[in-house]
């Protein structure tokens, strides 16, 4: 599913973010930028050691921040590592909002025209998928409605239930 937002496209797809051929993919990172499990583990396995080597030079970063590295052997050109909140740490919604917006800003600062997000913090960090969809979609759409050179934002959801949550939120609120 896709929607036109101002001069940009917002698209939802179900699949493996590591297979996308975009300027950048967004990793659901930890503060130390250690590529462990989940999305980060898939990025490490498919992208090779160059990504972790670069992460070790730019990390650590705080929750809500984002940093860019090489994408190694991935189809994407870069990985933007966004640190989302752990459920229960407090102020989680604001931290997820910041992780989303800072990822978009990092893309903009690096003259990237398209970026793909996963559902940040919904894995081992325990953030509810429905809240994630609301916050990430709203803030991405608000960003795209401003002045931006980003042409396309993709939300790549790994499984069908997560994809359906994002589709339902997008249809209910924006498209």
User: For residue 96, what pLDDT is reported?
Assistant: 98
User: For residue 59, what pLDDT is reported?
Assistant: 94
Whether 98 and 7 have beta carbons less than 8 Å apart is answered as: no
User: For residue 37, what pLDDT is reported?
Assistant: 86
What sign has the CA pseudo-torsion 31, 37, 39, 41?
Answer: positive
10-residue stretch averages of pLDDT, the chain, 175 residues long = 95 97 97 92 95 96 98 98 96 98 98 98 96 98 97 97 97 80
Q: Is 86 exposed, middle or buried (0-12, 13-18, 19+ CB in 10 A)?
A: middle
What domains are defined for the chain? Answer: 2-173 (3.40.220.10)
How do beta strands 78-83 and 66-70 pair?
A: antiparallel
User: For residue 173, what pLDDT is reported?
Assistant: 77
pTM: 0.96
User: For residue 172, what pLDDT is reported?
Assistant: 86
């Amino acid at each position: 599913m896709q929607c036109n937002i101002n001069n940009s496209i917002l698209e939802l797809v179900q699949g493996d973010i590591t297979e996308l051929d975009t300027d950048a993919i967004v990793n659901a990172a930890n503060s130390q930028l250690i590529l462990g499990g989940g999305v980060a583990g898939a990025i490490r396995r498919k992208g090779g050691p160059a990504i972790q080597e670069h992460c070790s030079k730019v990390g650590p970063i705080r929750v809500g921040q984002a940093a860019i590295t090489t994408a190694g052997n991935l189809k994407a050109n870069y990985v933007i590592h966004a640190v989302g909140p752990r459920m229960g740490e407090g102020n989680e919604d604001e931290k997820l909002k910041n992780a989303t917006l800072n990822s978009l800003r990092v893309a903009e600062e690096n003259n990237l025209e398209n970026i793909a997000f996963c559902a940040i913090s919904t894995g081992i960090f325990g953030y509810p998928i429905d809240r994630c969809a609301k916050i990430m979609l709203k803030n991405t759409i608000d960003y795209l409605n401003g002045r931006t050179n980003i042409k396309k934002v993709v939300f790549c959801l790994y499984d069908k239930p997560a994809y359906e949550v994002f589709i339902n939120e997008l249809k209910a609120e924006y498209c």
